[in-house]
Amino acid sequence: MSKPVFVSVCMAMYNGSAYVEHQLRSILAELRPGDEVVVVDDASTDDSVEIVEGIGDDRVRVIRQPVNRGYVRSFEAALLAARGDVILLADQDDEWVPGRRSILVGAAGAAGVAASNLELLGTGEPLRSPLSGRPWRLRAATSGQRLRNELRILAGAAPYFGCAMAVRRDMLGVITPFPAFLTESHDLWIATVANATGHMTHVETATVRRRVHDANASSPRPRGLRRALGSRWMLVRAWREARRRPRRPA
C-alpha cells in the first residue's frame, strides 16, 4: 500500500471578503483528512479573517500578518508554514475544478513543480493571450523545453499562474527564500526556478476556474511600457538567480 500524500494549500489573502468563502468551500471539497489550508492574511482591513474562521473547518489555519507586506511575501510566508508533502497554491477569489488535488499531486510528485491550465469562471473559456488574443494554454509537450519556456516568460507569453501550480515539498529548499528583489510575480519566479532546474511539468487539464475582476493581483491586460520593462528586467535577474540554485532538491 502506498504512503498517503498530505497536501497543504497556500493562500495569500487581502480584503478577500467578497469571494474567499466560495473559494475555500471549493478547496475543502477536494481535500482529505490530514490536509490543510494555510491562509496568510496580509493585514486585511475588512472582515476576511472572520469569514474564513467562521467556516469552522479544523483544516484551515489562519496566520495574521500585523502589517501589509504584499502578496509575494505573503505567499512566501504561507509556503514556509506549509506542512504537506505537496503544496498547492490558491488565490482568494477563484474556484477549484473537481479532481484538481489528484491531478496536481500526481504531476508535482513526479516532476517537482506542476503548472496546469485554467479556465474562466462562468464561461469555461480559456484565458486569451494579451499578445495574440488566441487561447493561452500550456502544452505538455513543451514541459522539458527549459530555455524556450524561460524565453516565453521573459516575453510575457507563458501562462504560468500561481493559482494553477503545485510544488513538491523538497522543492521548497530550491524555491525559497524568494529573492529580495522580487516584488511581484511569485508564480513566474516558481516557474523560472522549475524550468532552470529541470523540474517543470505542464498539465493540459484546466484545474481552476479563474474569476476575473478589477481587483485581481495579476491581469492579462497589457501594461504600460515602463512597468513592462521593469518587470522584464526583474525576470532576467530571476533567471540568473534561479540558475544559481541547486539543480537537485535536498
Residue 133 resides in a domain:
yes
Kindly give, in sequence order, each residue whose CB lies less than 8 Å from that of residue 157, ignoring residues fewer than 6 positions away: 129, 131
**What residues make up the domain containing 145?**
7-242
**Which residue, 194, 183, 187, 162, is CA-closest to 90?**
162
Domain count, the chain: 1
pLDDT band at 212 (very low <50, low <70, confident <90, very high): confident
Q: What is the pLDDT of residue 213?
A: 72
Q: Is the pLDDT of residue 58 over 60?
A: yes
SS (H, E, C) 179-237: CCCCCCCHHHHHHHHHHHHCCEEEEEEEEEEECCCCCCCCCCCCCCHHHHHHHHHHHHH
Residue type at position 68: N
Q: Is the pLDDT of residue 247 over 60?
A: yes
pLDDT band (50, 70, 90) for residue 220: very low
User: Is 224 part of a structural domain of the chain?
Assistant: yes
Q: For residue 124, count CB atoms less than 10 angstroms from its CB and return exposed for 0-12, middle for 13-18, buried for 19 or more.
A: exposed
Q: What is the pLDDT of residue 35?
A: 98
Q: Report whether 242 contacts 192 (CB < 8 A).
A: yes
Examine residue 82 and state whether it is found in any structural domain, yes or no.
yes
| Cell numbers placing 195 | 524550468
In the predicted structure, residue 57 carries a pLDDT above the cut 60 = yes
Model pLDDT, residue 226: 63
Q: State what percent of residues in the chain have pLDDT above 90.
A: 85
Query: Model's pTM, two decimal places?
Result: 0.93
State the Cα torsion 82-87-91-93 to the nearest 10°. -100
Please write the tens of the pLDDT for every residue from 137-196.
Answer: 999 999 999 999 999 999 889 999 999 999 999 999 999 999 999 999 999 999 999 999
- Residue 225: pLDDT band with limits 50, 70, 90: low
Sheet holding 200-210, edge to edge: 60-64, 36-41, 7-13, 86-90, 165-168, 113-120, 200-210, 95-96
Task: State the average pLDDT over residues 64-79.
Answer: 98
| CATH code at position 201 | 3.90.550.10
* 250, part of any domain: no
* Host H or E run for residue 71: helix 71-81
